Structures are given as structure tokens and as C-alpha cells.
Structure 1
């Protein structure tokens, strides 16, 4: 019976991602974010449960990636697609030549994030190196990065920040960065603890403390900062370890 528990958690991740898709398509970014957060929560604990119960399986690995394609791949791609639409790209003529099945051609640039996420997940499944570290940004972290943008618009409502987020070049830049960092060869540390000593986990403890401080001070605007901090600390950790 216990072998079904991790897969049930993975399916809950997929269920949450599916609901998030519905919310995004109805322009409800807050609802979508809530279910993405829940999906990522289940995504973390399915692996934890599999290890704790000693029931890891190839089926579980494949199912996990399939669920992540939706929650951490399709959802952020659709969010970016919607942000492109909201930004109202004035450099595109809104005539029949620029509409593909009712979709503004340039808005579908956002779906490149979905493709890059699926490619990363496929590579992860066949990569035997990523046991103690990640190679490239994990898809859940990237999903948090993208979903944070409409949350910043919704809750922090700063004209300067809004102008930056809804700038077409900023959105294009974020999309390119997202696709690149997902599939880069940069080694990023994990938050898995083999023991709890500060000496062997200094980077992890410092990162967690900084995350808490940033979230208290910046709220949702802290999420992009935390992702960049995560990458920067990983690069620094790699350099110092050498």
C-alpha cells in the first residue's frame, strides 16, 4: 500500500497544475499562483515520501516529470503568454496578418518557456549526475519566477515596477533568460541536507535566512530576487569549492 503514497502526491501535483491552467486562461493569476504553490508543495513531498518509505521507482520518476510539465512548464508558459497580451505590444499591427487562430503572434513567444521546461525535464530523467546538485534551474523554481510577475502587479501596484514588468523587451528578456537558465550547465545547490551542521551546509543556511528576510521586506517582489540570489550563490559556491 505504501508504494502508492508518493504517486498519489504526484497526481495531486498534476491536479493542482491542471486547475492552475484553468485559472490562467480565465485571467485569474492569484488563483493560478495558489495552485502552483500547492502543486510545488506536493512535488517536494512526493520525492520525500518515496525516499522515506524506500519505494522509489521508475514509474514514479516518469510520473513526476509528466506532472511537472503541466504545473511548472505549461502554467508559466501560459502566464507569460498572458503577460505579453496585457502588455499590448504596440509594435505589432493588430490586423488579420498578425492573428493566428485569434492569438497575437508575438504573445505565443511566452510558450517557449513550456518547451524549454519539457526539454529540461526530459534531460533530467536521463542525467545520472544530478544527485547532489541541479544542472540548470529546476522547473518549480522557474515557475515561481514567472508566476511572481503578475502577483507583483496585483499586490504591490507600483507604477515604476508595473512599467518594467509590462515592457515588451523586459518580457522577451525574461523569456530568453528562463529558457536558457533551465537548460544551462550551471551547477546549483539543492536544499537537501545530509546532516544539519553549519559547516557543511553554510550556503544553504545563509540562503534560507536571506530568503526569509527578503520575503518579509519585499513580499512577492522578493521571488525574482531570491531566484537570482540562488543562482549567484551557487556560482560563488562552485568557485570557492574549486
Structure 2
């Protein structure tokens, strides 16, 4: 019976991602974010359960990536697509001439994130090196970055930050950066603990503590800073390890 547990958790990740897609398409970003967070939670624990139960399998690896394509690929792409549409509405430039077969061509730039995520997951599946580290930004981390943008708009209530997010060029820049980070060669540490000792896990413990502090102080606005912190600490960790 226990051999079904990891795959069941993966399927729950896929279910949450599918529900998040429905909410995102209907402009309910808060509910979409909730199910994305829940999906990422299941995504973390399916691998954890597989390792602890010693029942890792090839089908589990493939199923995990298929679920991530939805939760951490399709959902952030749709959210970015919707943010582009929101910018056009805010600027008052929304009209029927911008719609082609029910799709807004400019906003399709946001779907580049979905394509880059799928490509990153495919590379991960065939890369035998990424056992104790990630090469490029993991798709769940990138998804948290994209999902944080509408949450900041909804809850931070800061006119300066809102104006920055609701800027076409800012969204284009974030999209390009997101696609590059996903498929870059930057080595990023994984939050996998082989032991609980502080010395071999110093970077991980410091990162987690800083994340908690930033989230308490800045709330959703902390998420982009946490992603930046994750990259900086990984680069520094790579330099010191050499």
C-alpha cells in the first residue's frame, strides 16, 4: 500500500494545479495562488515520501514532471498572460482589435514562461547531475515569483509598487528573466537535508531563517527578494565551496 503514497501526493499536486488553472483563467488570482501553494506543498512531500519509503521509481519521476508542467508551468504562464491583459485595461488601450480568435497576441508573451518551464523539466529528467543541487531556477521557485505579483497588487496596497508591476516593460523584463533563470547553468542549492547538523547545512538554515524574517516584515513583497536571496546565496556557496 505504501508504494502508492508518493504517486498519490504527485496526483494531488496535479489536481491542485488544475484547479489553479481554472481560477487563474477566471481572474481569481488569490484562489489560484492558494492552490499553487498547496500543489507545491504536495510536490515537496512526494519526493520526500519516496526517499523515506525507499520506493523511488521512473514512473514517479515522469509523473512528477507532468504534474509540475501544470502547477509550475501552465499556471504561472496564464497568470502572466492575465497580468499583460490587466496592463492593457489599466492603460485604457483594450479594444477588439487586440483580440485574435479570442486571444490577446501581446499577452501571449507571458506564455513563454510555460514553454521555458516545460523545457526546464524535460532537461531535469535526463540530467543525472542534479541530485544535490539544481541547475537553473526550479520551476516551483519561479512559480512563486510569478504568483507573488498579483498577490502584491491585491494585498500590499503600495501605489509605487503597483505602478511598477502594472507596467508592460516590467512584465516583459520579468518574463525574459524568468525564462532565462529556468534554463540557466547557475548551480542552486537544494533544500534537501541528509543530516540535521548545522555545519553541513549552514546555507540552508540561514536561508530559511532569512525567509521567515522577510515574510514577516514584507509579506508577499518578500517573495521576489527571497528568490533573489536564493540565487545570491547559491552563487556565494559555490564560490566558497571551490
Aligned partner of 2:117 in structure 1 is 117
SS in 2 for 1:128: coil
Q: Equivalent residue for 2:40? A: 40
**Residues 172-183 of structure 1: matches in 2 within 5 Å?**
172-183=172-183
Q: Is the alpha carbon distance of 1:39 and 1:104 closer, same or farther for their aligned partners in structure 2, counting shifts above 3 Å?
A: same
SS at match of 1:104: coil
Report the alpha carbon displacement of residue 99 of structure 1 after superposing the two structures with TM: 2.4
Gaps spanning 5+ residues in structure 1: where?
none
Q: Give how far 1:102 is off.
A: 2.2
Distance 2:17 2:54 in 1: 26
* Aligned counterparts of 1:46 and 1:188: Cα–Cα separation in 2: 21
Q: Per the alignment, do residues 228 and 86 of structure 1 end up closer, same or farther by CA in structure 2, a change over 3 Å counting?
A: same
Matching residue of 2:134: 134
Matched, 1:187 2:187: yes
Distance of 2:87 and 2:118 partners within structure 1: 26
Report the equivalent of 1:61.
Answer: 61
Retained in 1: the 8 A contact 2:88–2:94?
no
Q: For 1:212 and 1:190, locate their aligned partners in 2 and report how far apart those are by CA, in whole Å.
A: 17
- TM-score, normalised to structure 1, is 0.97
The alpha carbon displacement at 1:95 in A equals 5.4
Give the whole-Å Cα distance in 2 for the aligned partners of 1:83 and 1:57: 38
Give matches, 1:152-231, under 5 Å: 152-231=152-231
Q: In structure 1, what is the Cα distance between the partners aligned to 2:234 and 2:85?
A: 34
Q: Following the alignment from structure 1 to structure 2, what is the Cα–Cα distance between the partners of residues 56 and 197?
A: 25
Task: Report the CA distance between 1:193 and its aligned residue.
Answer: 1.0
Q: CA deviation at 1:136?
A: 0.3
- Structure 2 unmatched ranges of 5 or more: none
SS state at 2:199 partner: coil
Measured in 1, the distance between the counterparts of 2:100 and 2:117 equals: 24
Q: How far 1:189 moved relative to its partner?
A: 0.3
Q: Distance in 1 between matches of 2:33 and 2:96?
A: 33
- Which of structure 1's runs of 4+ aligned residues deviate more than 2 A? 89-96
Q: State the Cα deviation string for residues 67-120 of structure 1 (Å, max 9, x = none).
A: 000000000000000000001175978453x42212221101000000000000
Give the alignment's TM-score, normalised by structure 2: 0.97
Note if 1:26 corresponds to 2:26.
yes
